[in-house]
Amino acid sequence: MMDPWIQHKTIWPTEAKFMSWVRGGIRAGLWKKHPVKLEFLRQNTILTVNTNPRSMKRFPMVKAARCALCRAVHSIKDIEVDHLTGNHSLRSMDDLRAFIEAMIMVTFDDLQLVCKPCHKIKSYAEKQGITFADARAEKHAILLIKGKKDVTWLEERGMIPASNQVGRRKQIIDALKEV
Ligand SMILES: [Zn+2]
């Protein structure tokens, strides 16, 4: 059997493109509506007082859940299910069985609810090989610099901002890590 990325070069120019299509299909088809995942989400959903002035009159209570990482309660639309042991790669057809198994044989112990910002930080930490706390500090520093709030942030904390961005970034990260 000829590999599809060789036989259909105009559809998938590379094996990586083909595997990415397979990965997306499995995620969308099996993972997105996995019954165990949805049941986990349902069991951990709580009702909380709606504080959004736009909708609080119509919906006094809204669905929410507690983030396993920052421990804060977030509206359900800002909550994602994190698959703790789901980080299997799918780079070739040989990975297929392990990849699908990890995804479909999921149990409640493999799952946790996290808020979107924490989920991003966790992924970043895993990619960079750093701790969650360090990743959070780095992300926060990047955000402050982007919003041009880094100088004020440092001054407000009694620090003398470094003359360049790299220096200020390091100052912010160090300050956040101390907390
Ligand atoms: Zn969180």
pLDDT tens readout for residues 115-133: 999 999 998 998 889 999 9
CA 68 to ligand 1 centroid distance, Å? 7
- Give the pLDDT of residue 85: 78
Structure confidence by residue, pLDDT tens digits, 2-61? 899 999 999 999 999 999 999 999 999 999 999 999 999 999 999 999 888 998 899 999
User: Alpha-carbon distance 172 to 179, whole Å?
Assistant: 11
User: Alpha-carbon distance 128 to 122, whole Å?
Assistant: 10
CA 71 to ligand 1 centroid distance, Å? 6
Compute the Cα dihedral for 119, 124, 129, 131 and give only its sign. Answer: negative
Structure confidence by residue, pLDDT tens digits, 150-163? 999 999 999 999 99
User: Alpha-carbon distance 124 to 30, whole Å?
Assistant: 25
Ion ligand 1, residue ranges at CB < 5 A: 67, 69-70, 115, 118
pTM of the full structure: 0.77
CA 156 to ligand 1 centroid distance, Å? 25
Beta strands 46-49; 73-75: pairing state: unpaired
